[in-house]
Amino acid sequence: MALFKRKQDPTPSALPEDIVLPQHVGIIMDGNGRWAKKRGLPRKAGHREGAQTFRKITRYASQRGIRYLTVYAFSTENWKRPEDEVGALMGLFKSYLEEALTDFKDDDIVVRFIGDKSGFSPELQALMTENEESSAARGGMVLNIAMNYGSRDEMVRAVKNICADVQSGRLDKEQIDERTVSDYLYTAGQPDPDLIIRPSGEYRISNFMLWQSAYTEFVIMNKLWPDFQKEDFDEALRIYSQRNRRYGGV
Within positions 72 to 111, which residues make up the interface with ligand IPE, using CB under 6 A? Answer: 72-75, 78, 89
Q: What is the rounded CA–CA span in Å between residue 77 and residue 43?
A: 17
With CB under 5 A as the contact rule, the residue among 30, 103, 153, 232 that binds Mg ion is 30
Within positions 175 to 204, which residues make up the interface with ligand IPE, using CB under 6 A? Answer: 200, 202, 204
Per-residue contact track with ligand IPE, 203 to 232, x per CB under 6 A?
Answer: -x-x--------------------------
Task: Provide Rg for the chain, Cα atoms.
Answer: 18
Exposure letters 202-224 (e unless 16+ CB within 10 A, then b): eeebebbbebbbeebbbbebeeb
Does residue 34 belong to the site contacting ligand IPE (CB under 6 A)?
yes
**DSSP H or E stretch at residue 134:** helix 122-135
Question: Is there a catalytic annotation at residue 153?
Answer: no
**Torsions phi, psi for 105 (to 5 deg):** -65, -45
CA distances from residue 35 to 38, 57, 121 in whole angstroms, order as listed: 5, 17, 28
Does residue 30 belong to the site contacting ligand IPE (CB under 6 A)?
yes
| Chain residue at closest Cβ approach to ligand IPE | 33
Question: Is there a catalytic annotation at residue 207?
Answer: no
Q: Which of Mg ion, ligand IPE, none sits in contact with 115, Cβ below 5 to 8 A by type?
A: none
Select 162 or 208, whichever has its Cβ closest to ligand IPE: 208
| Chain residue at closest Cβ approach to Mg ion | 30
Q: What is the rounded CA–CA span in Å between residue 93 and residue 100?
A: 10
Q: Which of 32, 78, 227, 234 is catalytic?
A: 78
Minimum Å distance from CB 238 to ligand IPE?
23
List the one residue out of 53, 61, 63, 58 whose CA is nearest residue 200.
Answer: 53
Neighbouring C-beta atoms of residue 74, cutoff 10 Å: 23
Residue 206 CA, chain-centre distance (Å), reads: 13
Per-residue contact track with ligand IPE, 141 to 180, x per CB under 6 A?
Answer: ----------------------------------------
Any idea which residues carry the catalytic annotation? 30, 78
Contacts with ligand IPE by CB under 6 A lie at 28-34, 72-75, 78, 89, 200, 202, 204, 206
